[in-house]
Chain A
């Protein structure tokens, strides 16, 4: 079964450093998403991406965040200057445009900011 692949699975970074979280969505999916889950809390929407542009972003997704689809397969989330409160699990998801609403999530990247 097709999977959404996220790398790395765990990243530790120092406060103020830039991080890039990588995702390879399912190949025939055209909608892409990033979510985050702070430990013990609910899953929060960050941003959706379609047709090579952001279609929606949440209040969390401020100027420190950016997304990019640098090639035909990768979808990245960049945090420019990490803060302690950015420590969370980050999930990438994708879905097709066939009306099935088959959202598929990756296994996540655990980001720890120290």
Chain B
């Protein structure tokens, strides 16, 4: 069965610093992986997804993630944090083993950005 683990429930960075949010996955089949962002009291917005094409995936708002099969990781990065990046970030894997293909979410990482 597929699963994802996000390391660190809370990450704090200074404005302009590198953002690194960690996600490791477990999957018995080649995974499809996703990062979503949730701003306070809002829904889930797709940042980027990996669906077995290029291993380095670029998303919206300057974020990117690299799929590393050897490390079973899909970490999210952004070179320079902005105050507006403060939000909750969720890593997810698509459960391709079942017909419904549901998304399985990690616990989430809250990103704080200090001025």
Contacts and interface: CB of A to CB of B under 8 A. Distances in A.
A103 B34 contact: yes
A103 B44 CA distance: 10
Given A43-B44, A108-B43, A56 B102 contact: yes
Contacts of A105: 36, 43-46
Interface residues of B, number: 24
Contacts of A102: 46, 49
B67 interface: no
Nearest to B45: A105
Nearest to B42: A107
A31 B49 CA distance: 18
Interface in A29-48: 31, 33, 35, 42-45, 48
Interface residues of A, number: 25
Nearest to A97: B101
A19 to B, nearest CB: 19
B44 A100 contact: no
Contact of A45 (B43, B44, B102, B106): B102
Q: Which 8 A-B pairs have the closest CB atoms?
A: A48-B100, A55-B100, A107-B43, A56-B100, A105-B44, A43-B105, A55-B99, A45-B102
Contact of A48 (B51, B90, B102): B102
A44 B106 CA distance: 9
Interface string A72-111: 0000000000000000000101010001111111111000
